[in-house]
Amino acid sequence: MDSMFILPLSILPIETKSIRTAKLIKNSQLKSSVEIFHDDQTGSGQVDVESLPAICGWPPGELHKDLVIIRQLALLPSYDVYSLRISLRQLHIAVNDHASLRLSPEKSEELSEYMILFTRPLTQIIYGEEGGDVKTYDDLIRMFRDPDVAKARERLINMAKTLSIDVMDVPIFLENYGDTFMALSYFRYCLERLEPYFSACLESLGPIRRHFQLRQNGNLMKTCDLIEEVINAVTAKITGTLESFEKRTHQMWSNINQEEFRAVKAMVERHHVTIGAALCGLTVKMNAFAHAFPHSGAGGPIKRADFMMSDMIQGIEIIRDAEKHYANDGG
């Protein structure tokens, strides 16, 4: 569940045994397909969603409920857990276990350095200098589970007063707070992880444009321009959106209360699906590029030009349209 482009069908109410262990994935063209198996030796065994009735042996002429669910999921632009929570709720699709719509403990630990940016203001408000010992969000939670019951209760009371909420609401606030800013940390992590691949991909356009034969191909030159434009525009928009969230978060602490936090939480959640869509598309494309050209000397201009005209350009409008969606949302 840490991936943006893989959705295990096992978390959903799928009845057909033969596909319960399968995964819905986004391929290099950003089309959804069902991956029946995957390993290093045999590769990936994928089938088109509309081929499922024949493969699963569903009665002809009947619309199987599993197909209805998978068709709906195939249209989703991203399979990251934060977008999924919203999309599954809108589609009225239940999950077998709500805990499955969370990042793994390993990924959460990996995001600790990002979470500190959001955790530190809270700990300093409640604990002052003592809050400097808090390095992760889990450290903050542990402070409220102190073996010294009196000390833990005092902390809860102080926090409730600071936030102008009831003591009984503090655990709910902490859970919502952590989850909201874990989402921001996750999106920031995904974007920063992709940056070296963006650079490598865009740098590879230079030799293509300078190649004496390739530069005479007008269609190829337009394709290179479009790829560069989409990558630059979408990454700039995501970066700007995340920075605006972080700025609003810091402003929140000057007048922190439950209503202000809810407003910030709602603002972040409004953008989950569009940020997820753009990042998912970029991740899939950069994965394909890195797989085709694992180092700077792999493949010459002609091979890279072929890749740009096939894998890279296919489905790029999905990423581009996600950026347009940001503009419609007002950023």
Question: pLDDT tens digits, residue range 165-198?
Answer: 888 787 777 777 788 888 999 999 999 999 999 9
| Mean pLDDT in residue range 189-209 | 96
Q: Which domain holds residue 81?
A: 6-102
Place of tokens 């409008």: 317
Place of tokens 């096939």: 310
Boundary residue ending a domain (102, 122, 148): 102
Answer yes or no: do 232 and 311 share one domain: yes
Answer yes or no: do 221 and 78 share one domain: no
Let me know if residue 149 belongs to a domain.
no
Residues 43-98 have pLDDT tens digits of 778 899 999 999 999 988 889 999 999 999 999 999 999 999 889 989 999 887 77
Answer yes or no: do 203 and 90 share one domain: no
Counted domains in the chain = 2
Let me know if residue 67 belongs to a domain.
yes
Answer yes or no: do 87 and 201 share one domain: no
Let me know if residue 133 belongs to a domain.
no
Answer yes or no: do 200 and 286 share one domain: yes
23-26 sheet: strands from edge to edge:
6-8, 23-26, 32-39, 43-48
Answer yes or no: do 195 and 310 share one domain: yes
Let me know if residue 150 belongs to a domain.
no
Report, in angstroms and rounded to the nearest whole number, the Rg of the chain calculated over CA atoms.
Answer: 23
Let me know if residue 129 belongs to a domain.
no
Instruction: Report the SS3 class of residue 236.
Output: helix
Query: Quick one: pLDDT at residue 127?
Result: 67
Answer yes or no: do 194 and 289 share one domain: yes
Answer yes or no: do 191 and 93 share one domain: no
| Mean pLDDT in residue range 223-228 | 97
Query: Quick one: pLDDT at residue 10?
Result: 93
Answer yes or no: do 179 and 66 share one domain: no
Does residue 204 or residue 269 have the better pLDDT? 204
Does residue 328 or residue 190 have the better pLDDT? 190
d(CA 134, CA 124): 10
Residues 296-312 have pLDDT tens digits of 888 899 999 999 999 99
Let me know if residue 118 belongs to a domain.
no
Least confident of 11-15, 225-229, 257-261, 296-300: 257-261
Answer yes or no: do 92 and 176 share one domain: no
Query: Quick one: pLDDT at residue 269?
Result: 87
Let me know if residue 321 belongs to a domain.
yes
Q: Would you say 69 and 20 are in contact if contact means Cβ atoms under 8 Å apart?
A: no
Alpha helix (H) ranges present in the chain? 17-20, 52-56, 65-74, 81-91, 105-110, 112-127, 137-143, 149-163, 170-203, 205-210, 218-252, 258-270, 272-292, 301-307, 316-329
Least confident of 37-41, 289-293, 324-328: 324-328
Boundary residue ending a domain (69, 102, 135): 102
Q: Would you say 24 and 9 are in contact if contact means Cβ atoms under 8 Å apart?
A: yes
Query: Quick one: pLDDT at residue 132?
Result: 60
Least confident of 40-54, 123-137, 214-228: 123-137
| Mean pLDDT in residue range 10-23 | 93
pLDDT at 4 over 80: yes
Query: Quick one: pLDDT at residue 219?
Result: 97
Answer yes or no: do 305 and 200 share one domain: yes
Let me know if residue 239 belongs to a domain.
yes
Boundary residue ending a domain (52, 74, 102): 102
Query: Quick one: pLDDT at residue 327?
Result: 45
Q: What are phi and psi of 165, to 5 degrees?
A: -130, 165
Query: Quick one: pLDDT at residue 121?
Result: 75
Confidence class for position 126, pLDDT limits 50, 70, 90: low
Answer yes or no: do 204 and 305 share one domain: yes
pLDDT at 331 over 50: no
Confidence class for position 129, pLDDT limits 50, 70, 90: low
